[in-house]
Each structure stands twice: as structure tokens, then as C-alpha cells.
Amino acid sequence: MRDVAIVGCGMTRFGRREEDLLGLLTEASLAALDDAGRGQGPVDALLVANMGSGILNHQTGVASALTDRLSLLPAPAESIENGPASGASAIKNAFLAIASGLYDVILVAGGEKMRAVTGWEATDFVASMSHPQGEYPYGITLPALAGMFARLHMAKYGVTSEHLAMVALKNHEHGALNPFAHIQQAVSMEGILHRPEAVVNNPPIAEPLRMFDCCPVSDGAAAVLLCAAEKAAEFPRPPIRIAGFGQATDTHAVHQRQDPLDLKAVRLASQAAFKMAGLKPGDIDVAELHDAFTILEIVESEQAGFFPVGRGHRALEKGQTRLNGKLPINPSGGLKARGHPVGATGVAQIVELVWQLRGQAGERQVDGAVNGFSCNFGGFGNNVLAFVLSGE
């Protein structure tokens, strides 16, 4: 199996965008190709990560359209769908295709045009990944699942609404330093939780989760250019190696898990990624976790092995996961502030890690970061991928 490195990356600003899906994917792809010093040079194959082009945009065959738009014909191309973990799934398939020896250079572009629909339609679209018999028909949405999960976790481990808000505060603070983030504004605990008007500005979504516990609905795209490590020297940027990855599935319906608090797929995927990389959680300098809901960042930081189970909120309150802490989590702002165009997210996490490991992250740079970790969470933890990247 050949080693694989990332030699180019780029993304669009996330948020409310005028461009259609193809326009967003094109913008991110051209940025990644430019970053790799390739302009529109030869690429052996493309993979597009997207969850909802059918439901949101009434469009299929997006990978063929992008290949044409980028003047990369006749390169092979297809789309990968794995709910909000589509991005990481596409990178995994590209990794394996290069590792096989058949292709040397593959472009992965992940994107979503979510604001093609509005309000309840966006929530309903996201709920299309819930169990088609056991969850969806009963009206369970992803915020509802996350709310019930948060309530259970709070009861068991002493996590409070203030802890949840601390995740939002931290990630909005980081996001304010990220020119690609959907929301580039810091918030205060007073403003979102304690002032009388907080009940209006930060209303309950699914108790105990309030609006600032949930990621926004964003448009956007991100792209990376992967290359066989043995050929990475042909590119100008220092290659960032994909040292390891892991993936695991769990029961589709959350209520079928023996312990609904046990996000087993996060644990298994993380363990597999560390094993392949030959590294431990303690070797990681920066992590991008999937904080679609604030509670998830806390729990993933535990299941990935960074903190003991039930202690993630303690590390958070001590500031260990802030930009200058022991293990900065979501320096990009995370899904909470950077935004969550679902098909783009897994790729955007890798883009942020590459920038961090190259030392290109500007005001949000984690000093001397060498190894990075990402967790991309599909369904409500039913399909999770983890990556370990290394700049060494």
C-alpha cells in the first residue's frame, strides 16, 4: 500500500452563497488546484462528496458535471454519499485508489447548497438520513436526537448548559479568526445564556439545546488534491501525509443501541486511525471535531481518546481545548461557526488541518502543530470516519 499525501487544498467561504452547487464545487476545486501549483493541470480522477444534490437541488451526476466544468475530461469521476460524513468517505476512497497504485493524483471536492431550501425543509432534508422505518416516520429530527442525547449525558456526567455554551463561545471565538467561516463573530456567555433577551436571541431548539448549541445551515465547498507520497515532491507545498484513517458503522436507529450514550463508531474509527498511523491521542497537536451540536464536541473529545469518558467538559472549562490550550479543538470555528454544508464538512476539516500543519492558519495558527486529527460524524453516529494527518 502506497503512502498518500495532500498537496493542495482550498475552500469557499461558507455561508449564504449566491452560487449554485456546481459553482461552489468549482470555486473550491480551482483553489485547491492553484494551491497545488497545477492550475488546471492533469488529474487522474475526481471524487465529489455530496449528500443532498437530489433532494436540495434536483440534480444527479454532479461529478461528471464538475469534471467537465474544470476541463479535466476524460478523467474518471463519481460522487460519494455518506450523510454528513460524505467528505471523509470521499477522501477515504481517494486514499485507497491512490494506495492501490492505479492513480497518482486525485481531486476530492465536497460541497452542499443547503440554502436552496429554507426553514423546516432544511431540517427535514437532514432527517432523511435517520432510520426510514424506525425514526423518520415518527418525526424525529437530528436536533431532537441530539437534545435527548445531551439530556442523558448531562444527567450522567454533570455537564451543564454553561458547558454546552462554552463550546459555542470557544468555536465562535475561533471562527472570528477564520475568513472562510460562515459566522465570524464572537459571542458571550451573558449574551446567549444569562441576559433576559437570551431567551429570544438564543431560543430553545430541542431542550436542552438552544440555537447556539446547533450549527447553522450553510452553503459551501472544500477541496483537496491527494497524491502518491512518492510523487509529492513534484508539488510546491510541503506534503501533509494521511498517516491513518478509520471508519465504523453503528445501528442506524439510535434507540437500538445498548447504551445510547456510547458513540461506539467514534471510538472504533478513532482507534483504527491511530493504529494505522502508529500514533496515540497524546501525539495530536490540533483536532477538528464534528460539533454539529455542542454536546458532540465534548463527547467526541472523549471517545477519540483525548480525555477520559465523562471528563471532556472539565478539559473544556479549563480552557485546554482553546486555541492556546493543551489540545486546541476546532481552531477553524468548527461546524458551529465555520458552518456545516454537509457534503463539504469532512473535506473542510482536512483543509483546516493541512493549513495548521503547514503553519498557514494565520491568526488561528496552533504553534508548531505537527500531527492533526479529524472526526466526521455521519447520521447520529451511525457512520463515522477519523483521520490522522502528519506534517512530519
Nearer to a copy of itself by C-beta: 83 or 143? 83
Q: Is 26 in the site for a copy of itself (CB under 8 A)?
A: no
Do 110 and 339 contact (CB within 8 A), yes or no?
no
Reported as half-sphere exposure (CB side, CA atoms, 13 A), residue 20 has a value of 10
Q: How far is the CB of 255 from a copy of itself (least distance, A)?
A: 13
Note if the bond before 238 is cis, omega within 30 degrees: no
Dihedral of alpha carbons 143, 82, 92, 69, sign: negative
Rule CB under 8 A: say whether 111 interacts with a copy of itself: no
By CB under 8 A, residue 74 contacts a copy of itself = yes
Stretch that binds a copy of itself, among 124-132, 159-167, 174-182, 208-216 (CB under 8 A): 124-132
Query: How many CA atoms lie less than 13 Å away from 118 in the CB half-sphere?
Result: 1
For residue 74, the minimal CB distance to a copy of itself (Å) is 4
Is residue 202 within the footprint of a copy of itself (CB under 8 A)? Answer: no
Q: Indicate whether 132 belongs to the interface with a copy of itself (CB under 8 A).
A: yes
Residue 282: closest CA among 251, 326, 245: 326
Q: Dihedral sign for Cα 304, 229, 366, 112, please.
A: negative
Q: How many Cα atoms occupy the beta-carbon half-sphere of 207 within 13 Å?
A: 1
Q: Of 78, 2, 9, 1, whose CA–CA distance to 225 is shortest?
A: 9
Q: Which residue from 265, 344, 348, 361 is in contact with a copy of itself, where contact means CB under 8 A?
A: 265
Under rule CB under 8 A, residue 243 binds a copy of itself: no
Q: Closest CB to a copy of itself among 57 and 356?
A: 57
- In the complex, minimum distance from the CB of residue 294 to a copy of itself, in angstroms, rounded to a whole number: 23
Return the residue of 97, 224, 316, 344 that touches a copy of itself, per CB under 8 A: 97
Report phi then psi at 270, rounded to 5. Answer: -65, -45
CA distance 223 to 8: 8
Contacts to a copy of itself by CB under 8 A: 1, 20, 22, 51-55, 57-61, 63-65, 67-69, 72-83, 85-86, 89, 92-93, 96-97, 99-103, 128-129, 131-132, 247-253, 264-265, 268, 378-379, 382-383, 385
